[in-house]
Amino acid sequence: MSAILEVENLGKTFGGFTALNGIALSVAPGERLGLIGPNGSGKSTFVNCIAGDFATHAGAVRFKGQPLVGLKPHERARLGLSRTFQLPRPFRSLTVLENVAVPLRFSVPPLPEAEAHSRARDCLDLVGLQDKAHLHPHSLTQVDLRKLELARALVGEPALLIADEVMAGLSHSEVDQILELLFALNGRGTAIIMIEHVMRAVTAFSQRLAVFVAGRKIGDGDPQAVLATPEVEAAYLGT
Ligand code: ADP
Ligand code: MG
C-alpha cells in the first residue's frame, strides 16, 4: 500500500541554526514507527513542521498523497493528521469532557454539542478517563493529563497520530498503561509515530525505528538492526 505520510528533503532553520536537514521519512497506513534521538536532535521540530505549526524552508510533505504546503494545523488535522504536544495543553477552564469535545465543535461541519459530547465520552472510555469527565485538568495526575492529551488528539479519529514524548516522567506501570492504549489505537487502524526516550516502550512498540541526531536522520529500519549500527550506538547511546 502507498505511504500515508511522505516527507522529502525536509529542512528547517531558526535564524542561522539548522534544526532539520534533508529529512526523508515515510509512514505506511497503520504502521507503528518509533522516532528517537538525543534532546535537541529535532524531533519536536519535525512534528511541528509536519503538523503545520512551523513553516519549512525546504522539502515536501504529503499526507494521503496530498501536498500539505500552505495548510494550517487545523486543516491538516481535518485531513486526519493529529499530534500531541510534548507539554500537554488542555484548556484550563473547561472540564475534561469539554476539552475532548472542542475539536469536534470546530470540525467541518461542526457537530452539535450533544453529539460532540457523546463522541467525546466514547473517547474518554477508550483512554480510561470516563470517571473523570467532569473534572478540570488541574485536578488530574500526570498520567491522566497525558491520557487527556491523547484523547484530544484522537477524538477526530485520525489516520496518523504523532505522540511526542507522552510517556516522559511516568512510572513503569503508567508507561505500560499508555503503551497499551497506543497499541489499542493502532489496532483500530491508526498509524502512530511514537517519539520517546523510554527505550523499552519504543522497542516493544515499533515495527520500524528512525533515529535523528543533530537534525539529520542517521538510521531507519528494523529496530534491533538500527540500534546495533555503529553510528547509532556512538551518536545516540554514547558508547
Ligand atoms: P527534540 O524534540 O529532538 O528534543 P527540538 O526539535 O525541540 O528537539 O529542538 C531542536 C533544536 O531546535 C534545538 O536546538 C532547539 O533549541 C531548536 N529549536 C526548537 N524550536 C525552536 C524555536 N522555536 N526557535 C529557535 N530554536 C528552536
Ligand atoms: Mg522534543
**Angle between helices 142-154 and 113-127 in degrees, nearest 10:** 130
The predicted model gives 25-51 an average pLDDT of 97
Domain boundaries, the chain: 1-80+159-239, 86-157
Residue 8 CA to residue 216 CA, distance in Å, equals 13
Q: Residue 45's pLDDT is what?
A: 97
Of the bound ligands, which one is closest to the alpha carbon of residue 36?
A: 1
Q: Which atom of ligand 1 is nearest to the CA of 45?
A: 6
- Name the CATH architecture for the domain at 1-80+159-239: 3-Layer(aba) Sandwich (3.40)
Q: Residue 238's pLDDT is what?
A: 60
> What percentage of the chain exceeds 90 in pLDDT?
86
Note the pLDDT tens digit of each residue in 128-181.
999 999 999 999 999 999 999 999 999 989 999 999 999 999 999 999 999 999
Ligand 2: centre distance to CA 132 (Å): 28
43 lines ligand 1 (CB under 6 A): yes
Note the pLDDT tens digit of each residue in 193-226.
999 999 999 999 999 999 999 999 999 999 999 9
| In the predicted structure, residue 239 carries a pLDDT above the cut 60 | no
Whose CA is closest to atom 21 on ligand 1?
14
| In the predicted structure, residue 237 carries a pLDDT above the cut 90 | no
Ligand 2: centre distance to CA 51 (Å): 14
Whose CA is closest to atom 5 on ligand 1?
42
The predicted model gives 113-123 an average pLDDT of 94
Contacts of 102 (CB under 8 A, 6+ apart): 91, 94, 152
Note the pLDDT tens digit of each residue in 40-64.
999 999 999 999 999 887 899 999 9
How high is the mean pLDDT of the chain? 94
Whose CA is closest to atom 20 on ligand 1?
45
19 lines ligand 1 (CB under 6 A): yes
Whose CA is closest to atom 26 on ligand 1?
14
Q: Residue 60's pLDDT is what?
A: 93
DSSP string, 117-174: HHHHHHHHHHHT-GGGTTS-GGGS-HHHHHHHHHHHHHTT--SEEEEESTTTT--HHH
